[in-house]
Amino acid sequence: MNRLKLLIKSNAVMVIAACLALITAFIVPPDKEYIGYFDFKTLTCLFTVLAVVCALRNVRFFYTVAEKIVKHFKNARVAVLALIYITFIGSMLIANDMALLTFLPLGYFVLISTNKEKYMCVTFILQNIAANLGGMLTPFGNPQNLYLYSKFNIPDGEFVLIMLPCFLLSVLMITLSCIIFIKPEPLEFSGVERKLPRGKVAIYLLLFAYSIICVFRFIPYWTALIVIPLAILILDKSALAHVDYGLLLTFVFFFIFSGNMSRIDAVRELFSFLLDKSTLIVSALSCQFISNVPSAILLSQFTDNYKELLLGVNIGGCGTIISSLASLITFREYAEHNPGKSGKYLLVFSAFNFTFLAVLLIFSSLILII
C-alpha cells in the first residue's frame, strides 16, 4: 500500500491523465479510431531523446557543460538568461519538448553546482515558457504548428510574419522577468572538475543528432527506435532503465483523453458555436483544458481562420499545467529534483503563465484589430 501511495504521489499527473482517459473511454468506447489518437512520431522521439539524455547524465556531460557556463558567465542572472535564450533557440530548431528535455538538465546542474537552488523554480518556469513561446516562430517549433502549417498550406513568409510580433514580445517579457526575479549574484562552482569519456560522449551526441534528424523527417522516425536503444544498450544499459516511462505514459493517456473529447458531439457543437465569436480567444482557452495540440486538431475542423487559430494555440501554451504537454516535462523534472515542493511550483507556474497568457492575448487582439 505504501508503494502504491508513493507511486501515485510521484506520478500525480500521469494518474490524473489516466483517470481522464478512462472517464472519456466510457463516453467514447474503444474502437479502431483510437489508434489514430497517438502521435507515434512524438512518442518515439520523446523516448529516444530521454534515453540519450539519461546516457549523457551518466557520463556527467551536463555537469561538465554547467561548469563551463559558470566559468564564462560570472553571475546568476546572466547565467540564467543564457540558459533561457538557449532554450528559446533550441525550441525553434528541435521543438519545444525536445528543447526542454535537453536544456532543463543543464539548468539544474548549473544551479545545483553553484548553490543557487533558490532560483530553480523560477528558472525552470521561464525555460518552460521560453520553450513554448520560442517554438511559435517556426513551423516545426511546436507540434501544433507543424499540423496547421501542413493543413492550411501556410506560406513560410506569412507564417513567420503572423508569429513574429508575439515572439518578440515574449522575448522581452521573459528577459524582464529574469532581470526582476534573478539577482546578479556572483557564481562559484562548488564541484570538482572531471574529465569526460570523449568516445562515449561523441557517440551519444551523434545519437542525439540522429533523433533530431528523424524529427525533420530526413530519416524515418521508426529507425531511431531501433538504432538508439540498441546503441545505448551496448554502451550503458542502465540509461534505458532510468528513462522516465511515467512521462511517456502521461502522453499516451492525454492522447486518449484529447482524442475522445474531439469525438463528443456536444463538445464539437460547442466549439463550432464559440469559434464564430472569436477564434483567437476560444483556441487559447481551449488549450487550457485539452492542451494546444489536440485543440489545434479539433478546432481546425470548424474554421479556416488559420491566423487567429495559429496565434491562439501558441499563446494558449501558457496557462494551466496541461495547456502544453511540454509543460508536463518541466513539472516532472522539477518534482524529481525537488520532492515535496510541487505545490509551490504549481502556484508560481500559474502566476507566471496566466500573466503571459493575458498580456499576449491582449496584444494579439490589438494587432488583429489594427
Q: Could you tell me if residue 333 is inside a domain?
A: yes
Q: What gap in Å lies between CA 126 and CA 131, rounded to an integer? A: 8
Angle at 105 between CA 118 and CA 111, to 5 degrees: 25
Q: Residue 42: inside a domain, yes or no?
A: no
Rounded to whole angstroms, the Cα distance separating 29 from 276 reads 30
Residue 215 lies in a domain: no
State the average pLDDT for the chain. Answer: 84
Residue 210 lies in a domain: no
Cα 348 to Cα 114, 351, 359, distances in angstroms: 23, 5, 17
**C-alpha cell recorded at residue 124:** 525552470
The domain in which residue 284 lies consists of 60-195+244-369
Q: Is residue 172 part of a domain?
A: yes
pLDDT band at 129 (very low <50, low <70, confident <90, very high): very high
Residue 28 lies in a domain: no
pLDDT tens-digit series, residues 152-183: 888 888 999 999 999 999 999 999 999 999 99
pLDDT digits (tens, 9 = 90+) for 6-38: 666 666 667 877 888 899 999 999 998 888 888
Q: Using the predicted structure, report yes or no on whether residue 294 has a pLDDT greater than 80.
A: no
In a domain, 218, yes or no: no
| Residue 297 resides in a domain | yes
In tens, the pLDDT along 83-121 reads: 898 888 878 866 787 778 778 888 888 888 888 889 999
3-state secondary structure (DSSP) of residue 301:
coil
Q: How many domains does the chain divide into? A: 1
